[in-house]
A and B are shown apart, each in its own frame.
Chain A
Amino acid sequence: MGRDREFTEYVGTRWPRLVRTAVLLGCPRAEAEAVVRDALVRCLTDWSKVRRADDRDAYVHRVLVERLRAAARHRHPEEPLPDRHDPVLDRLHRLPEDQRLAVVLCDYAGLDELQTAIAAGLPSARIEACLAPARAALATTQPLTSYREAG
């Protein structure tokens, strides 16, 4: 299969979840599609690396995390994040970065702990240690409380 076709199929199935992962990781909604597009273009430019990667999803998420970090560095520290009105996003934003990466990549992006460690550029043990406090912090948000009560 050609590179462009592989890429098109990959993007077709992953695009919405990648954009939403970017938002959960703290990227403003207005920027999320641009950041994901930037990450995917970088992956496509070196698609042979994606092909060679032991884990394609982990590789692509690693590039996405790097682009998100780069975008955050260029954002003015005083610039308000537009999604703070959502209690879950607000709680995620207030988590330490390692915890936010661990819980979003594991519990939303669908990566396992090893893939999450690769994508976040952190040791597996660190991911393991971050998950419990991150999940506990999210459990205190109102929507989850309602969901648990309803379920």
Chain B
Amino acid sequence: MSSPWTTALLERTAEQVIVLAPPVEPMLAEADRLRRRRRTAVGGAVLAVLVTLGAADVVRSFVDPDPKAWPAAAPPDGMRFVGVGRSVIAVPSGWATDATRCGQPVRDTVVLAPGPEDPCRAERPAGVRSVVVREGEVEGFHAVATYRVGGRPVERSALRCAEGTCSTMVRLPSENVTFTVASSAGTEALARAEVVAIAFTARVLDGHTAVPATRMLAAEYGRSAEAKYVAELRTLGLDPVVVPAATTTGADPGTVIGVSPEPGTPLEAGSEVRVRVAGGERAPQDEVAVGIGIVDEDRHYGGLTQEDIRRGTTLEVSQGTDLWAFADGRRSRTLEARQEGDSIVLDFWRNGPDYPTTWEAVHPGTTELTLSIRVDGRRVDLGTVRIVVTE
């Protein structure tokens, strides 16, 4: 019950406040504009994710997922799988990797190497989506639901929204891996839908292993980063190929400055991973001079220089042409070649001077020829050229 004395006092005070007529029309127009903007935002970005997933009722499925609804071991169109080990989650293809500053994502990104937690107390920017991949126990994870995808258990935490950011955690207990999916984009409804849509794709991808992160390598291992990383790739069953940087980037020699496919990409066992390493003053490929020679049926000679090979030149030859790769220098005896295509075949003249890097052009078509040397047991690529055989 109100107090008449206080009411009278407040009424007398309030009467002194002059109030103009309510701006009804502008309010109606503004509300319409807000509703349109919200519909557009939700209808755009969420549609992109949800439709891409091919699951119209993905939100409902997240609560009670049907394993049959998501049997694909391939990411939906427009998305790619990223993760660690066999654990993957699908994110839109355009997302960056480890695009963070002060522990916060600066654009849409998957974070494979989270680093120290919020080292400079930065606030998460608005309009950003992220997936953080963590191995081991994650503090604060509390499963509210467990379901199975592809026959493997998946646990998820509650979906929470606070201060403009919605997030949830999805855990693959068999792999001891947790994905934290978060979005501060658009309205809360949009953020919730995007988080759910992405979280739903987490799964174990049998027969695959993800390219490990490189971001913290230099900080943790310094000049031995390359050796450490190559050893890790081998342990994972991948095939590392070290590609020295053509020019120094300012990084210490031995620093891993790039990996292809990029970190987080799941690969089948035995797949090749090209590791770009800062070469320092003298990269291994500089210790050998390499070239390709050719002679056609009319005894016309030609060939490619070392620069041509490093540049990836295309060489056109006619059927019946003989080709050979040669090297000079400290590591020339380790020269080897890999070929993709069958327009040239190995010349079996074992006593020839360049065996086994000699070929004969036998069919019209294109063959990619990659030349490499061995450095302390590691394969170091020198370049890949295209040999186009014409009739």
Instruction: From B8, B10, B26, B34, give the contact of A24 (CB < 8 A).
Output: B10
Q: How large is the interface on A (under 10, 10 to 19, 20 to 34, 35 or more residues)?
A: 35 or more
Instruction: Say whether chain A's binding surface is mostly helix, strand, loop, or mixed.
Output: helix
Give the A-B contact count at a CB cut-off of 8 A.
92
The answer on a CB contact under 8 Å between B28 and A44 is yes
* A41 CB contacts on chain B under 8 angstroms: 27, 30-31, 34
Instruction: Say whether chain B's binding surface is mostly helix, strand, loop, or mixed.
Output: helix
In the assembled complex, the Cα of A144 lies from the Cα of B7 at a distance in Å of 10
The answer on a CB contact under 8 Å between B24 and A12 is yes
The answer on a CB contact under 8 Å between A110 and B2 is yes
* A148 CB contacts on chain B under 8 angstroms: 5
* Known contacts A11-B24, A32-B17, A33-B19, A44 near B9 by CB under 8 Å: no
Instruction: From A15, A21, A33, A138, give the contact of B9 (CB < 8 A).
Output: A138
The answer on a CB contact under 8 Å between A104 and B24 is no
Whether a CB of chain A sits under 8 angstroms from the CB of B14 is yes
In the assembled complex, the Cα of A56 lies from the Cα of B144 at a distance in Å of 34
* B228 CB contacts on chain A under 8 angstroms: none
* B23 CB contacts on chain A under 8 angstroms: 37
The answer on a CB contact under 8 Å between B2 and A106 is yes
Chain B 9-35 residues near chain A, CB threshold 8 A: 9-17, 19-24, 26-28, 30-31, 34-35
Q: Write 27 A-B pairs (CB below 8 A) sorted by A numbering.
A: A7-B24, A12-B22, A15-B19, A15-B22, A16-B19, A19-B17, A21-B14, A24-B13, A40-B27, A44-B27, A44-B28, A44-B31, A86-B13, A86-B16, A88-B9, A88-B10, A103-B10, A107-B6, A107-B7, A112-B1, A135-B5, A139-B6, A144-B5, A144-B9, A147-B5, A147-B8, A147-B12
Residues of B within 8 A of A (CB): 1-3, 5-17, 19-24, 26-28, 30-31, 34-35, 38
Q: Which 6 A-B pairs have the closest CB atoms?
A: A15-B22, A20-B14, A44-B31, A108-B10, A88-B13, A107-B6
